[in-house]
Amino acid sequence: MKKISIICILFCLIIIPISSANPNISGNNYPDLSDTKGISVSLVNQDPDPAIAGDTIEIYLGIENLGGETVNNLIVELEPEYPFTLVDGEPAQQKISTIKEYQKQDYMKIITYMLKVDSDASAGSYELNVIYHDESGSLTKETSVTIDVKSKEMAQIIRIDRTDLVPGEQSSLKFTINNVGRAPLKDLTFNWVNEDKIILPVGSDNTKYMRYVDIGESVELEYQVIADPNADPGLYELKLYLRYDNPITFEEKVISTIAGVYVGGKTDFDISFSESTLDETSFSVANIGSNPAYSISIIIPEQDGWSVKGSRTRIVGNLDMGDYTTAGFNLIPPNDEVPLKIQIAYTDTSGKRDIIDTEVFLDSADINMDRQSGDTSSGLQGSETISRLTNVGIIFLLLAAVGTGYWYYNKRKKGKKNSKG
């Protein structure tokens, strides 16, 4: 125990002369500024850390007096340069009324500034200039603090390549994911959901994975989908989800949005020759598509060869899926066999007016050729009828004359036999 006490005493005797001999040495290695104003400005903290491009940042500056003289009315002024600007209403100058001698460390003065970081700033470290001076002007100095900035990541689902689907028909549906931020995106997962279960993926599930999307680049994701053939026409909601790792916080970030896809719209028709009478050629019109059609009109447009007596348009009303109707026209066919052009105009389930152009091929035998000569056809038909009636009458008269002659001959023959007897 005595040896230990002696050693402790000797150690204290050694330390005391060294400290006395060098008064500039302190517990924090500050130089001796007992007769000066030793102002020091440093960055104590920032929120967030690092700063995010496009966001605001709050910085905390620590003001210390390392000297032995009190400083009154100290002015601290910020001179921000790119990528920093002061938030609107934020003063560049701040005044500290008094900072006493050796006021440092836990007793330092703290002042704050709100800054805006430019949205186009690249990741890196940037210097922020600080000027400070006292009221007398005897103390004017400039320093800088370093602010770390990270680029802001941002992904955007910018579009869907189509907004309508035909029930029961397989279609391609493409989503475009665009990186509109200033940092690459990694480990992205995209999926979509239709809670009505009217629109479903075909051949794969509804989730796709992307390993990397660079700044300014986009990725196209394609799905094969089909809409329920029994779905009522209307607008259906798709919920879109994009998940990726935030490169700053390393936490999963989720972007969710919605898009509308219309199920319904256009349909299709089949039109064919039905029959021909003296005054009308009829066509069968069937709705062979997957949607109803409204306010249907059948039109024979102006065309070479074919002509129409009377109206060129027939309104046939509405047709549900699988229904059919007929439409007739008084057609005058051409001399040569050419197809007849027909238009089908209708309103689809989305309210849009659509026109389908088609052609029907007709043989001359399909149409009563007696109507080819136009307005004289009825006169010719009457003459032919009279001619046929005349021929029948002549034959009848001849047969009657032959019968009468034969009867008269038999009567005379019997009369002669009776006279002889």
Q: Is the confidence at residue 354, as pLDDT, over 90?
A: yes
Q: Which two three-digit tokens encode residue 79? A: 């001179």
* Total tally of structural domains belonging to the chain: 3
Q: Which amino acid is at 98?
A: T
Q: Is the pLDDT of residue 186 over 80?
A: yes
Stronger pLDDT, 327 or 151, i.e. the higher one:
327
Q: Which residue has the tokens 């001179």?
A: 79
Residue 385 lies in a domain: no
List the CATH number of the domain containing 35. 2.60.40.10
Confirm if 101 and 70 have CB atoms less than 8 A apart. yes
Percent of the chain with pLDDT over 90: 42
Same domain as 342, residue 284: yes
Position 10 in a domain: no
pLDDT band at 273 (very low <50, low <70, confident <90, very high): very high
Q: Alpha-carbon distance 399 to 397, whole Å?
A: 5
Residue at a domain's end among 263, 291, 324: 263
Query: Is residue 32 domain-resident?
Result: yes
Which residues 6+ apart lie within 8 Å of 232 measured at CB? Answer: 264
Higher pLDDT, 169 or 159: 169
List 96's β-bridge partners, or say none: 74
- Of 310-314, 374-378, 384-388, which one has max mean pLDDT? 310-314
Compute the distance between CA of residue 315 and CA of residue 298 in angstroms, rounded to an integer. Answer: 6
Is pLDDT larger for residue 151 or for residue 78?
A: 78
pLDDT tens digits along 28-42: 454 556 667 788 899
pLDDT(10) > 50: no
Domain limits for position 202? 155-263
Q: Are 291 and 348 in contact (CB under 8 A)?
A: yes
Tell whether 349 is covered by a domain: yes
What does pLDDT average to over the chain?
A: 81
For 129-253, where are the alpha helices, taking DSSP H only?
none
Confirm if 293 and 346 have CB atoms less than 8 A apart: yes
**Whether residues 110 and 83 fall in one domain:** yes
Residue 175 has pLDDT above 60, yes or no: yes
- With respect to residue 420, please indicate whether it lies within any of the assigned structural domains: no
pLDDT at 18 over 50: no
**245 falls within a domain:** yes
Q: Who has greater pLDDT, 217 or 408?
A: 217
Question: pLDDT digit string (tens) for 200-238?
Answer: 999 889 999 999 888 888 999 999 999 998 888 899 999
Taking 80 as the threshold, does the pLDDT of residue 81 lie above it? yes
Residue ending a domain, among 243, 263, 283, is 263
The H-assigned helical ranges of 356-376 are none
Same domain, 238 and 321: no
The pLDDT of residue 26 is above 90: no
Q: Is residue 217 one of the residues assigned to a domain?
A: yes
In three-state secondary structure terms, 389 is helix
Query: Where a domain ends, among 216, 248, 263?
Result: 263
Does the residue 21 lie in any domain? no
- CA-angle at 97, arms to 93 and 101, nearest 5°: 115
Local structure of 201: helix, strand or coil? strand
Q: Does one domain contain both 117 and 88? A: yes
The better pLDDT of the pair 250, 102 is held by 102
Give 275-330 pLDDT, tens digit per residue.
998 889 999 999 998 889 999 999 999 998 899 999 999 999 999 989 999 999 99
Q: Report yes or no: 191 and 207 within 8 Å, Cβ to Cβ.
A: yes
Q: Tell me, yes or no, whether 145 and 163 share the same domain.
A: no
CATH code of the domain containing 330: 2.60.40.1670
Q: Please, are residues 345 and 296 in contact by the beta-carbon 8 Å criterion?
A: yes
